Structure formats: C-alpha cells, structure tokens
C-alpha cells in the first residue's frame, strides 16, 4: 500500500523531501479526522466527542511515535482507523 501511495504522489509532484513530508502529514491529518468521525459514531454529546477524539494526543509515547515513526507505520494507523470506522458505519444500527 505504501508503495502505491508514494508512486501516485511522485507522479503528481517531484521526488523530494517535501513530497515525503506532505505524505506523512496528510496521513496524520487523516488519522485525526478519522478519530473525530469515530467519536461522532460513539457519542452524541459534542463535549464527549471532543474528549474522545483528542484525549489520545495527551499520551506522549503515542504522539512521539506518530511523529517520529516511519511513514508506513503512519499509513498503517490510518488504515486500521479506516477499518474501525467502516465497522461502525456497517453496524451502526446495533450501537444506537
């Protein structure tokens, strides 16, 4: 999966450190957005949605590994959360 993401990205922009950084931070933004969507599925109250989607950012080892880690780990986290969100959307009648 990582190979194809980089291949598509390198077809759009030149192979540089910039394209690498763009890929990582787009994936990190995607992770944050997926956490928000998952928290919207779990909670109706906006305050709990905010707490659920941002509280993991207070865990220093998690955030440090996310920023320090390699791109394939970041994309793997994105894929896991995407599957988690798809699970909730598929079974949303059982959770509400």
Q: What is the total count of domains within the chain?
A: 1
pLDDT of residue 96: 59
Q: Would residue 44 count as lying in a domain?
A: yes
- The model carries a pTM of 0.74
Closest to 36 (Cα-Cα) out of 3, 81, 77, 2: 81
Tokens, residue 10: 């390198």
pLDDT of residue 19: 73
Q: Would residue 18 count as lying in a domain?
A: no
Q: Would residue 15 count as lying in a domain?
A: no
Residue 36 structural domain: 2-8+25-95
Distance CA 5, CA 10 (A): 9
Mean pLDDT on 56-83: 81
Q: Would residue 63 count as lying in a domain?
A: yes
Distance CA 44, CA 1 (A): 34
The answer for residues whose C-beta is within 8 angstroms of residue 5's C-beta and 6 or more apart is: 23, 75
Q: Would residue 13 count as lying in a domain?
A: no
Answer positive or negative: Cα dihedral of 8, 81, 61, 50.
Answer: positive
pLDDT digits (tens, 9 = 90+) for 8-29: 777 887 777 777 787 788 888 8
Residue % of the chain over a pLDDT of 90: 7
pLDDT digits (tens, 9 = 90+) for 41-61: 888 899 998 888 888 888 888
Distance CA 28, CA 17 (A): 17
Q: What is the DSSP letter of 57?
A: G
Q: Would residue 17 count as lying in a domain?
A: no
């Amino acid at each position: 999966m990582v190979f194809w993401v980089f291949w598509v990205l390198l077809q759009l922009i030149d192979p540089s450190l910039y394209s690498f950084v763009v890929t990582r931070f787009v994936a990190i933004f995607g992770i944050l957005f997926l956490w928000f969507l998952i928290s919207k599925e779990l909670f109706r109250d906006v305050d709990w949605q905010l707490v659920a989607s941002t509280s993991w950012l207070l865990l220093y080892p998690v955030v440090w590994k996310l920023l320090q880690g390699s791109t394939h780990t970041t994309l793997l986290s994105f894929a896991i959360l995407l599957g988690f969100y798809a699970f909730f959307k598929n079974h949303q009648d059982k959770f509400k």
